[in-house]
Amino acid sequence: MSIPEKIGNYISGRIQALARMIFFAVKVFRRVMTPATYNSATRTVLINQIYFTSVQILPVFLLVSAVVGSLFIGVVFQALKNLGLVSLLGNVLMGLIVTELSPFFTVLLITLRSGAAINAEIAAMQVNREIKALEVFRIDIIDYLLAPRVVNGIISVVLLSFLFSIVLMTSGILFSRVIFGISTDVYVNILLNSTNFSDIVVALLKCAAFGFFITLIPIYSGLQATHELTSIPIVVSRGMVRVFAAILVIEVLSLLIRLL
Amino acid sequence: MPISREYKVGVFVIGTAATILLALLFLAAQKGFFQTSHTYTLSCRTGDGLAVGMPVVFSGFDIGRVHSLELDDKGAVLIKIRVPDKHAKWIRQDSFFVLYRPLIGAARIVVNTDHLESPPLAEDKIAEVYVVNDINDAIEKIQPLLETIERLSRRIDSMAAKTDEQVFGREGTLPQLNKILKDAAGKLEKLETTVDNLNKISKDAAEGTQDLGALRADIDEVAQTLNKVSRDIDALLYKQKKPEIKLP
């Protein structure tokens, strides 16, 4: 096979893989949006998933948010003061920290904790032929396995990202008072003046997109495992790389939407 | 009694979702989404720096937003601003509107009202917007300074050229100074010979002075001898007691 043929085959394979993933994503999205999907078994799985992804890590998440958020806010506020850009405080706080940093930080935490776990779980089920067994018993794996995890991803990223923003804005009250001598009323007024509904809507949609893909891609990668145990680490690492690529793509797309 | 997993998840989801909803409602209320508003039309010569959503500011506080922009039949830009009812009191008939474009930060329309007791501005009246541009102002302020610096630079160049000619030119100071210094050096050489001669004369004079000392001692001795001779003669004369002396 000549080099151009090899390159053509490689590109064709990649495009087909991407098309299969998009087709799979559309299929899962349609089932997620169908009320009939949510039977009692699906609801139980969904509750368990939300519990493991959000509720269980909530104290640690809030602690990390407070530490990282305060550090970031302190550095940014100090830089604004040194540059004489105090008037841009609200724009920086809402435009950079709340709409960009919060979703990004949240999605990174959830991907590292839950995305990898879901990927390994589905891959292990595939290796142990549990997914085949479910199909034999005529249990729909999209309803039972995929939909609850994807919905959990969307709910968890949106809610935790919002909590992260709340923690950041609260620590912003303290830092604005210490660094700029701004009272709470003025701080709230600055935030309100700098807040646009369109930014919030874009941030919420971005969080939902993050949540959808950081669970869908690990599931899709996990389902590609063969019946050998050695395939588990391969599909997990491949899935995580795809997830991080998807995060970057969503970030860029959201930035483009905000610019338009 | 242990709290069930379902209960914890329910509290988390409902609590956080309710907080999000309340925050959005609060934001909407503060932004005036639930308020009726007044729409005023302003006119401006140019649309540069204008954008839909641009804030309308009174005394540093946002009181409204630019709702839409359009061109009229004469080519002027018509700016429709929407101001909530609670802020409409700041806009009066004698209010004037300034499009302020700062060097750093977002542009805004600033409302200035001198007499708050004057009648409210009618919504069908078109007020003019004046443009204040920090960038142009800064350039205008810097321009005379740049011109002065340029003029100074030209003068310094001219002065440097003249100085160069006067100092280093054919008839300049430096060649003449060299000539004077050469003359001075020649004269100094001659002066050295004179000084040598003077030293020699001085030495001879010193030696002459010593001879004069010996001569004076001789003269003193002669004077003393003469003095003694005189005294002897006086003594002899006294002994003769004759008033007249017969000289041989």
Q: What is the C-alpha to C-alpha distance for residues A122 and A252, in angstroms, rounded to an integer?
A: 29
B152: confidence class by pLDDT, cuts 50, 70, 90: very high
Where is mean pLDDT largest: A60-64, A175-179, B135-139? A60-64
Task: Find the mean pLDDT for residues A4-8.
Answer: 90
**Structure confidence at residue B245 (pLDDT):** 57
Q: B62 with B109: CB under 8 angstroms?
A: no
Amino acid residing at A82: N
The shortest CB-CB distance from B5 to any of A47, A87, A200 is to A47
Q: Is residue A16 part of a domain?
A: no
Partners of A195 on chain B (C-beta within 8 Å) are 27, 31
User: Which token pair is A65?
Assistant: 């948010």
* Closest approach of A6 to chain B, Cα-based (Å): 51
Q: Give me Rg for the CA atoms of chain A.
A: 21
* Domain of A192, in residue numbers: 38-259
Cross-strand bridge partners of residue B66: B81
Structurally, chain A folds into a number of domains equal to 1
User: Which token pair is A120?
Assistant: 């390994």
pLDDT, tens digit (0-9, with 9 covering 90-100), for A246-256 = 999 998 888 88
B114: confidence class by pLDDT, cuts 50, 70, 90: confident
The verdict on a CB contact (< 8 Å) between B19 and A162 is yes
Where is mean pLDDT largest: A84-93, A128-137, B58-67, B130-139? A128-137
CB pairs under 8 A between A and B: 48
**Structure confidence at residue A210 (pLDDT):** 92
Tokens 């169908």 belong to residue: A34
Partners of B8 on chain A (C-beta within 8 Å) are 51, 55
In chain A, the residue whose alpha carbon lies closest to the alpha carbon of B62 is A193
**Structure confidence at residue B246 (pLDDT):** 62
Residue B79 belongs to what H/E stretch? strand B77-84
Chain B from 103 to 132: CB within 8 A of any A CB: 104-106
User: Which token pair is A36?
Assistant: 């009939």
Q: Is residue A9 part of a domain?
A: no
Report yes or no: A197 at the B interface, CB cutoff 8 Å. Answer: yes
Q: What is the C-alpha to C-alpha distance for residues A244 and A214, in angstroms, rounded to an integer?
A: 8
The verdict on a CB contact (< 8 Å) between A58 and B62 is no
The shortest CB-CB distance from A51 to any of B5, B53, B62 is to B5
Report yes or no: A55 at the B interface, CB cutoff 8 Å. Answer: yes
Ramachandran quadrant class, B75 (left: phi over 0; alpha: psi -120 to 50; beta: rest): left
**Structure confidence at residue A73 (pLDDT):** 83
Average pLDDT, chain A: 88
Number of Cβ within 10 Å of residue A88's Cβ equals 18
Q: Taking the mean position of all CA atoms in its chain, how far away is CA A45? A: 19
Q: Three-state SS string across chain A, please?
A: CCHHHHHHHHHHHHHHHHHHHHHHHHHHHHHHCCHHHCCHHHHHHHHHHHHHHHHCCHHHHHHHHHHHHHHHHHHHHHHHHHHCCHHHHHHHHHHHHHHHHHHHHHHHHHHHHHHHHHHHHHHHHHHCCHHHHHHHCCCCHHHHHHHHHHHHHHHHHHHHHHHHHHHHHHHHHHHHHHHHCCCHHHHHHHHHHHCCHHHHHHHHHHHHHHHHHHHHHHHHHHHCCCCCCCHHHHHHHHHHHHHHHHHHHHHHHHHHHHHC
Report yes or no: B199 at the A interface, CB cutoff 8 Å. Answer: no
Kindly compute the dihedral angle of the four CA atoms of residues A247, A251, A253, A256, in this order, to the nearest 10 degrees. -170
Lowest pLDDT segment from A22-26, A44-48, A117-121, B127-131: B127-131
Q: A89 with A181: CB under 8 angstroms?
A: no
Q: Is residue A28 part of a domain?
A: no
The verdict on a CB contact (< 8 Å) between A155 and B20 is no
**Structure confidence at residue A257 (pLDDT):** 81
Average pLDDT, chain B: 85
Partners of B107 on chain A (C-beta within 8 Å) are none
pLDDT, tens digit (0-9, with 9 covering 90-100), for A89-121 = 778 888 887 788 889 989 999 999 889 999 999
Q: What is the C-alpha to C-alpha distance for residues A30 and A25, in angstroms, rounded to an integer?
A: 9
Pick A137 or A258 by higher pLDDT: A137
Partners of B27 on chain A (C-beta within 8 Å) are 192, 195, 197, 200
Phi, psi of A39 (to 5 degrees): -85, 180
Lowest pLDDT segment from A52-56, B76-80, B95-99, B128-132: B128-132
Helices and strands, counts by H and E, chain B = 3, 7
Q: Is residue A204 part of a domain?
A: yes
DSSP B122: P
**Structure confidence at residue B242 (pLDDT):** 58
Has residue A226 got a pLDDT over 80? yes
Q: Who contacts B130 (Cβ-Cβ below 8 Å, separation ≥6)? A: B96, B97, B98, B99
Q: Is residue A222 part of a domain?
A: yes
Amino acid residing at B177: L
B243: confidence class by pLDDT, cuts 50, 70, 90: low
Report yes or no: A78 at the B interface, CB cutoff 8 Å. Answer: no
Q: A235 with A115: CB under 8 angstroms?
A: no
Partners of A47 on chain B (C-beta within 8 Å) are 5-6, 9
Q: What is the C-alpha to C-alpha distance for residues B232 and B226, in angstroms, rounded to an integer?
A: 10
Report yes or no: A94 at the B interface, CB cutoff 8 Å. Answer: no
Q: What is the C-alpha to C-alpha distance for residues B210 and A174, in angstroms, rounded to an integer?
A: 106
User: Which token pair is B161?
Assistant: 């050229």
Q: What is the pTM of this model?
A: 0.62
Domain borders along chain B are 1-34, 36-152
**Structure confidence at residue A154 (pLDDT):** 93
Q: Is residue A7 part of a domain?
A: no
**Structure confidence at residue B146 (pLDDT):** 87
Partners of B6 on chain A (C-beta within 8 Å) are 47
In chain B, the residue whose alpha carbon lies closest to the alpha carbon of A159 is B16
Partners of B28 on chain A (C-beta within 8 Å) are 197
The verdict on a CB contact (< 8 Å) between A47 and B55 is no
Q: Is residue A148 part of a domain?
A: yes
Phi, psi of B112 (to 5 degrees): -120, 125
Report yes or no: B20 at the A interface, CB cutoff 8 Å. Answer: yes
Has residue B70 got a pLDDT over 70? yes
Helix axes of A102-110 and A147-175: crossing angle, nearest 10 degrees: 130
Q: What is the C-alpha to C-alpha distance for residues B168 and B179, in angstroms, rounded to an integer?
A: 13
Q: Is residue A20 part of a domain?
A: no
B214: confidence class by pLDDT, cuts 50, 70, 90: confident
Lowest pLDDT segment from A251-255, B107-111, B160-164, B237-241: B237-241
Q: A89 with A192: CB under 8 angstroms?
A: no
Has residue B241 got a pLDDT over 80? no
Partners of B20 on chain A (C-beta within 8 Å) are 159, 162
pLDDT, tens digit (0-9, with 9 covering 90-100), for B48-59 = 878 888 889 998
User: Which token pair is B22?
Assistant: 């309340």
Residue B83 belongs to what H/E stretch? strand B77-84
The verdict on a CB contact (< 8 Å) between A47 and B104 is no
